[in-house]
Structure 1
Amino acid sequence: MGVDSGLPDFRGTEGFWRAYPPYRALGLAFEELADPVHFADDPGLAWGFYGHRLELYRTTVPHAGFGVLLEWSRRRQARVFTSNVDGQFQRAGFADDVVAECHGSIHHLQCLAGCGQPVWSADGVAVQVDTATMRADPPLPACPRCGAVARPNILMFGDRSWEPGRSQVALEAHQAWLRSLRAEGVRPAVVELGAGTAVPTVRRQAELASAASGALVRINVREPEVRHGRGVGLAAAAAQTLLALDPLVRGADPAPATRR
């Protein structure tokens, strides 16, 4: 979904290294950098990667497909379930309380020392990164309570210290919404965008949510197959496909929804 806005594609080591050449020289893959151990062992390296991403996500303008989804959400009941940590849905205009971020958000921080400080916003936090070495210069983001190094409130690989509370509230609201639809006899249509199979969280959620209706539209350049046989797979990019579907959806939509 984010690639069409110009964000780097982290799937595959070569793609990651094209986006971040210094890591090729170090022989570090995305999975190795996205590991919470670096914040304790080498926080300059860790914040070099995440600080660069934080600034990139802040300055990236969401592509027109986000606007299509936002307009659909204004006409029908709709919510977002995403494994992206970039905050692009909120930047595009979606309210924070309708976006369930199952892997957390780079726009929120937590204390590395686990001192009890609640998760806090990264607004106003600036990280200076040397793009030649991809290392962050001090001072690094710190916990406002105890002064320990802070880390993004993101579920990383092999992560046992992620604080899920903020994300869990939205995830529980999302599941409650799905249950209310089932109770009302409403069969949801699910539009799945770019969800891969390496970490299949979003794909599984999409298949479960659309199981009763079979109304799953899987938009995926690399892996569009709907193996469970209930839905449609489109091997195409997110932005162009949403823009192409928009007039069809609008033409079939009789009236705006009365509630979200």
Structure 2
Amino acid sequence: MSISVDLRSVVDAIAPARTVTVLTGAGMSAESGVPTFRDVQTGLWARYDPMTLATPEAWDDDPALVWAWYQRRRAMVTAVEPNDGHRALAGWARSADIRVMTQNVDDLHERAGSTEVVHVHGSLFACRCDTCGRAYEPEVVDLDTDRIDPPECDCGGLVRPGVVWFGEALPQNAFAEATARAEAADVFVLVGTSGVVYPAAGLPHIARAAGATIIEINPHETDLSDACDITIRSTAAVAIPAIVDACTS
């Protein structure tokens, strides 16, 4: 896929920027083959509605079912690799102030080499006790079963997935940091996000109000396109390396 925008406008916007903040969504990981929320529902999971598994109520009712489903999701993410977009962002950050935050719950940014990534919707790989909040790193297994007992914490609680479930608030510290990064941005880049999930979709508006130039990378028009100064109708794995090359050459 080619890029339909003159990259000179992008370079002109980024060249004087001290800080570039990047917010990525599902489109960022799509080219790596990360399954969507519903794509996990194959095989024995086909009879379950994912909307009913990602809730506090589901966890309270049947934690073994929910833990098994998230183990399946972790295994599917572990089986894929970061794409050229992930790697280009990580490389760019070695020579510029690039601050990455994501709506995705995968770990592809980190595996590509990005550091201090803010996960506004939590992470599949950052679990915690449902009682005391102690952090746990899960063992990734993919068993052909729809029930796996979650680990127990020393306090007697159960280790739960570290993602934001429907009906839960965003992690307070993570969203506060995301807001601070939006306010600090000279350029704010939206990558592969539909712009319909709030409050994360409000971050570019915060950046714009603070004076940032807003750049959108998405092959499709989104609910945020009208708020962007520059739109690039391409995918992350194509556009990001091209932008990084143009800005660093």
> Which TM bucket (shorter chain)?
0.7 to 0.9
What CA RMSD, in Å, does the superposition of the two structures yield over aligned residues?
Answer: 2.7
- What per-residue deviation string (whole Å, max 9, x for no partner) do you get for residues 38-69 of structure 1? 22212232122101112223343211111111
Q: Does 1:108 align with 2:122?
A: no
Is 1:135 the equivalent of 2:138? no
Give the Cα–Cα distance (whole angstroms) in 1 for the partners of residues 208 and 92 of structure 2.
18
Asked whether the equivalents of residues 101 and 118 of structure 2 are also in contact (C-alpha less than 8 Å), the reply is yes
Q: Give how far 1:22 is off.
A: 3.8
Which of 100, 107, 111 aligns to 1:87? It is 107
The answer to whether the Cα contact below 8 Å between 2:100 and 2:117 also exists between their aligned partners in 1 is: yes
Structure with the larger RCO, 1 or 2 (CA within 8 Å, 6+ apart)? 2
Most deviating of 201-210 and 48-57: 201-210
TM-score, normalised on structure 1?
Answer: 0.73
Q: Sort the Cα spacing of 1:178 and 1:83 in 2 relative to 1 into closer, same or farther, 3 A.
A: closer
Alignment partners' CA distance in 2, 1:203 and 1:178:
11
Aligned length: 222
Distance 1:236 1:190 in 2: 17
Match of 2:35 in 1: 8
CA contact (8 A) 1:68 1:242 kept: yes
- 1:211 and 1:23 map into 2 onto residues whose CA distance is 48
The CA deviation at 1:76 is: 1.6
Whole-angstrom CA distance in 1 between matches of 2:219 and 2:200: 16
Residues 71, 213 of structure 1: alpha-carbon distance in 2 compared, 3 angstrom cutoff:
farther
Is this contact kept in 1: 2:215–2:229, CA < 8 A? yes
- In 2, Cα distance between equivalents of 1:27 and 1:108: 24
Corresponding position of 2:154: 144
SS at match of 1:156: coil
Q: Is the 8 A contact 2:32 2:82 kept in 1?
A: yes
Partners of 1:150 and 1:79 in 2: CA distance: 30
Secondary structure, counterpart of 2:155 in structure 1:
coil
CA distance in 2, matches of 1:225, 1:154: 24
Give runs of aligned pairs for residues 1-260 of structure 1, distance below 5 A. 1-10=28-37, 16-17=38-39, 19-22=40-43, 25-26=46-47, 28=49, 30-95=50-115, 98-112=116-130, 114=131, 116=132, 118-123=133-138, 125-130=139-144, 135-137=146-148, 139-146=149-156, 148-159=157-168, 164=171, 168-176=172-180, 181=184, 188-213=186-211, 215-224=213-222, 226-251=224-249
C-alpha contact 1:192 1:203 (8 A) present in aligned 2: no
What amino acid sits opposite 2:151 in the alignment?
P
Query: What SS does the corresponding residue of 1:40 show, helix, strand or coil?
Result: helix
TM-score (norm 2): 0.76
- Matches of 1:215 and 1:90 in 2, distance apart? 26
**Cα gap change, 1:216 to 1:22, in 2 (>3 Å):** same
Contact 1:195 1:202 in 2 (8 A): no
Larger deviation: 227-236 or 44-53? Answer: 227-236
SS at match of 2:101: strand
Q: Indicate conservation of the 8 Å contact 2:105/2:124, yes or no.
A: yes
Paired-residue identity, %: 27
